[in-house]
């Protein structure tokens, strides 16, 4: 089996601003596997807040490249590399390769069918006026995700709600809120009919959520990396954001789906940004989720040659030419 890696650079249309960073371009790692005339690909951005980037992921893969042999299974890969972006790219490439060898789609390998899904559109952290304008501009997206830190949070939320009375709103604090702010904003969140609040408190500082009866569904993102974290999540959150870069690929992502169901946790599928090649495997996870956040390619100036089609907010299944 031939394994190659390549680093790709993608410029964004506008800065992607969260409570912790502002992003104007991204560098992703593309993994290609060739065997018997078939080619499989996978893409990862990595988990930046854990120190991953395209270079570190490429080095991780180079260190185990001799272990990637013909017949290497996705299950074997789970113990070869830890969770994270490097394993994600390799795992997704193995799914793609196997689907091509077997002349079927990746979702058929997973034993499921697929349908188009509705993705949220993310509003970058900005002033109340600018966020309201962006909300109105993206009127064809029925679900909006607001990046909100602890500054003027209620004002920004109310401005967006006024601009989009019809939209379902979810909020992402990226771990920037305090317990006091969480308590203070319970009223405005209810007033503005917020459907879900993602990662309000910093990862590792969310024990105060244990058994908390909060009026809005809380979703774990940075606090939950893979299925080994789910038992702890179940008493603190009602929902988990599954990201393939975090958990280490589609194989573990689908395992998380089953484990979440066992624990009664609702699910969201998210992304760390990336091209259509990164979104395609996550589309399989999206089939099981309450919310789909796979708008990464919509933020990029360019995309893959056979991109996923977005008809307004409706995300179509990936083509065979792209992946799986």
DSSP structure string for 137-203: HTTT-SEEEEE--SSSHHHHHHHHHHH-TT-EEEEE-TT---HHHHHHTHHHHHHTTEEEEE--SPT
Residue 80: helix, strand or coil by DSSP? helix
Q: Which of 147, 156, 246, 301 is catalytic?
A: 147
Q: Which of 28, 38, 106 is closest to 319 using CA atoms?
A: 106
Measured between alpha carbons, how far apart are the two ends of the chain, in Å? 18
Q: Which of 145, 156, 243, 246 is catalytic?
A: 243
Backbone angles phi, psi at 46, to 5 degrees: 90, 175
CA dihedral over 146, 151, 153, 159, signed as positive or negative: negative
Interstrand relation of 194-198 and 217-220 (parallel, antiparallel or unpaired)? parallel
Examine the residue annotation and report whether 147 is marked as an active-site residue of this protein.
yes
Residue 268: helix, strand or coil by DSSP? strand
Q: Which positions are catalytic?
A: 147, 243
């Amino acid at each position: 089996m031939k394994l190659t890696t390549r680093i790709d650079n993608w410029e964004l249309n506008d800065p992607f601003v969260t409570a912790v960073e502002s992003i104007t371009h991204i560098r992703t790692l593309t993994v290609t596997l060739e065997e018997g005339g078939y080619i499989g690909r996978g893409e990862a951005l990595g988990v930046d807040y854990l120190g991953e980037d395209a270079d570190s992921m490429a080095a991780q893969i180079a260190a185990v490249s001799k272990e990637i042999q013909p017949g290497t299974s996705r299950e074997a890969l789970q113990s070869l590399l830890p969770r994270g972006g490097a394993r994600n790219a390799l795992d997704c490439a193995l799914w793609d390769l196997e689907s091509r060898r077997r002349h079927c789609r990746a979702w058929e390998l997973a034993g499921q069918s697929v349908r188009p899904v509705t993705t949220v559109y993310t509003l970058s952290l900005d002033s109340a006026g600018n966020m309201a304008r962006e909300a109105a501009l993206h009127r064809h997206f029925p679900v909006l995700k607001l990046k909100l830190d602890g500054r003027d949070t209620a004002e920004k939320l109310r401005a967006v709600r006024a601009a989009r009375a019809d939209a379902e709103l979810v909020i992402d604090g990226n771990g920037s809120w305090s317990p006091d702010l969480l308590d203070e904003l319970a009223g405005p969140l209810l007033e503005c009919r917020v459907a879900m609040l993602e990662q309000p408190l910093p990862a590792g500082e969310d024990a105060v959520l244990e058994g908390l009866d909060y009026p809005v569904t809380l979703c774990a993102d940075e606090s939950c990396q893979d299925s080994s974290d789910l038992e702890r999540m179940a008493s603190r959150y009602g929902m988990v954001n599954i990201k393939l870069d975090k958990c280490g690929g589609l194989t573990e992502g689908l395992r998380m789906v089953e484990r979440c169901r066992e624990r009664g946790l609702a699910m969201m599928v998210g992304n760390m940004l990336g091209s259509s090649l990164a979104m395609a495997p996550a589309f399989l996870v999206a089939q099981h989720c309450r919310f789909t956040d796979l708008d990464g390619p919509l933020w990029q100036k360019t995309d893959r040659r056979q991109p996923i089609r977005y008809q307004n907010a409706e995300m179509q299944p990936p083509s065979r030419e792209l992946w799986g």
